Structure 1
């Protein structure tokens, strides 16, 4: 592992401690200030759209300027600064605004960081590199909720203070970005900087393999709504707030543990195979969540959901990167991230609406059934993957 890979992985580790201290308490916190299931779905839909648009726009801008570090640094800083605002001013409109700034930061850094990871890896070990980075990122998602859980043992229901505390690890992550090697940019364009034009230019030249992989990923994303609804379903099934956080910690522990092994496996048997396996696991999780009648079942499903995420999250980016030219790497990954987020946002909004109209149980059974059907569609949509040299 090179210095760039290690530093970026530790930056993500601290940033995720900051973010994931908040994520498992977010549904309860939002409910306390007036959000229902539909409101939570709408908030997460908005957040995903902003992050996705940022990935595409800033990814293209990063390619045209041939700069990565400024986007990474400023992106992490914006996300760190947004978190305490939600705790200090817990009003619906302020939370919407702060969450938006947080997601702008995520969109700004995402494509540039991923391009740096691709540049620091070889095609033969790209799955391993992304798996390691994802594992470190998710390890932060284990530590964060544990810290939140410990705090709530002493200060029950003091959710607002956790948002303020979360600022500290986020700031550590920002500081670490200043240990990355300096860049020597060679801009790819001598004319005006036009990110939108760069995005359209990339799409016109995109390979058929890139387009087919992206089509399959987007189809599945239409089913994969916000994980906050999983936490809401766990609470609905009788888990206490502390138990919901515990289940989320367990999920992330499985996710972090298996990310690197699945990355190595994808290098050996192909990204296509691992991605398809993840879709089957997802379908099983959602059906199980809808049919669960006991709390132990919920705990088991969170373990299995960690298996799904480990297999799925570290697969799409390195797979797509194999079909993106070096000079448009951030643009290609950013465009995929944007379209993926649009579909995830739509899925979150529809899932929240479906919950309000019917019930959480019916929603998960329906989505799980559709995911099994999607698996067979993806068998035909995804191109076969030649062995990585």
Structure 2
């Protein structure tokens, strides 16, 4: 069996693990905003909880990334993270207060923080055989397939049985399935590092300057990207969609995300970081549409939201894999994730406050923040040669 075929199987199997995990926590996230509203939380609290969850989930990645590279226990740390990431989700069914639900939501984000840097480092070795944009795009497509399945399952439960609690309980099925597959995958591929050959860029001692410029650009995009719980809160509060329809809208966005990840990942392999700028120009249109009071506009906005998410998830990680030595890659993903998460937290918190004050200002902030990233991305393009990024 050729190295490329073996690597493809590794990426696909790891993609199935992510599919199960996403079905679990994205199924939950499709209703947590509306769930918090029923438990008495305000728009400001929803934005704060969602943003703080992302802050913890991304901020912790600096330590986890460094620990992963220092100990080389990539598989062990990944396994611990996946367990926490998915095991707490069904417990949301027992939450009787918004404070309890908020704590479980933050615990789920903590689990994702633990597993993501080492997982992405492992994945980066496999995708080196396939084309980084395509490889990360394929993984993201599978990831988001789960993100469609989870909300659909929750919507079905809400339809047949009613009550958000039942929606959380059903998610124990993908949670257990993903953990079992992860344990098998760990035995089949104990050393994914062997997929990737050393190149000249692998011997750099420090993270290159362009990495930090790139981080600044993506931080601006993250700050202007509304988390779905706030969107769900808006849909419920304005009576644009019912509790049953909201998960279906989220599933639509996740389906668009999956398709966009494959398309933009392949385009990245051919055209480089210019494709990310195109994705930003498309995604900045989501806020004026999503936060309207028209159902059709909301659906169109969620399509743009999904395109932006898919492009980000494939291109952002693929770019870093081409910039950073593999011995420091988990650390780089951790630092990058922390910067991204801090910006997401600040942006989500501000947008939650702006929602209670002025939706027009919320929309203006979202669009402007994303557009401000374009000059930084142009700077990255001018300083990083195409060979370094895409090799």
Aligned pairs, how many? Answer: 370
Alignment of 1:197-276 (within 5 A): 205-235=206-236, 236=238, 238-270=240-272, 272-276=273-277
2:120 aligned with 1:114: yes
1-structure distance, mates of 2:85, 2:127: 27
Displacement of 1:273 after TM fit? 1.0
2:282 corresponds in structure 1 to 281
Alpha-carbon contact 2:216-2:376 (below 8 Å) kept = no
Partner of residue 3, structure 2: none
- Determine if contact 1:213/1:381 at 8 Å carries over to the other structure: yes
Structure 1 residue 380: Cα displacement: 3.5
- Cα distance in 2 between the residues matched to 1:309 and 1:51: 17
TM-score by length of 1: 0.89
* 1:183 matches 2:190: yes
Deviations along 1:261-317, whole A, 9 cap, x unmatched? 2111110011x1121111111221223334x45321211221222222222221111
CA–CA distance in 2 between the matches of 1:319 and 1:222? 20
Change (3 A) 1:295 1:185: closer
Change (3 A) 1:18 1:26: same
1:66 and 2:72 are equivalent in the alignment = yes
Residues 1:152 and 2:158 are matched in the alignment? yes
Match of 1:306 in 2: 306
Equivalent position of 1:97 in the other structure: 103
Residues 65 and 185 in structure 1, CA contact (< 8 A), matched pair in contact too = no
How far has the Cα of 1:124 moved from its partner? 6.8
SS in 1 for 2:225: coil
1:143 to 133, 146, 149: 149
Is the CA contact (8 Å cut-off) linking 2:33 and 2:228 kept in structure 1? Answer: no
- Cα distance 1:3–1:242, how it changes in 2: closer, same or farther (>3 A)? same
Distance 2:305 2:106 in 1: 27
CA distance in 2 between counterparts of 1:53 and 1:371 reads 21
Larger mean Cα displacement after TM superposition, 237-246 or 318-327: 237-246
> Retained in 1: the 8 A contact 2:85–2:112?
yes
Q: Which residue of 2 aligns with 1:166?
A: 171
Q: Distance in 2 between matches of 1:379 and 1:278?
A: 14
What does the per-residue CA deviation read over 1:41-98, in whole Å, with 9 as the maximum and x for residues that have no partner? 1111221121113322111111111121111111111122211222123323322332
Tell me whether 322-331 or 227-236 shows the greater mean CA deviation: 227-236
- Check whether the contact 2:10–2:189 (CA below 8 A) recurs between aligned residues: no
Q: Which residue of 2 aligns with 1:76?
A: 82
2:127 aligned counterpart, secondary structure: coil
Find the aligned partners of 1:293 and 1:332 in 2 and give their Cα distance.
Answer: 41
Deviations 1:129-184 (A, max 9, x none): 1000000000011111111111111122x101222221221111111111223536
Aligned residue for 2:386, secondary structure, equals coil
Mapped partners of 1:363, 1:185: distance in 2: 44
Aligned position for 1:21: 27
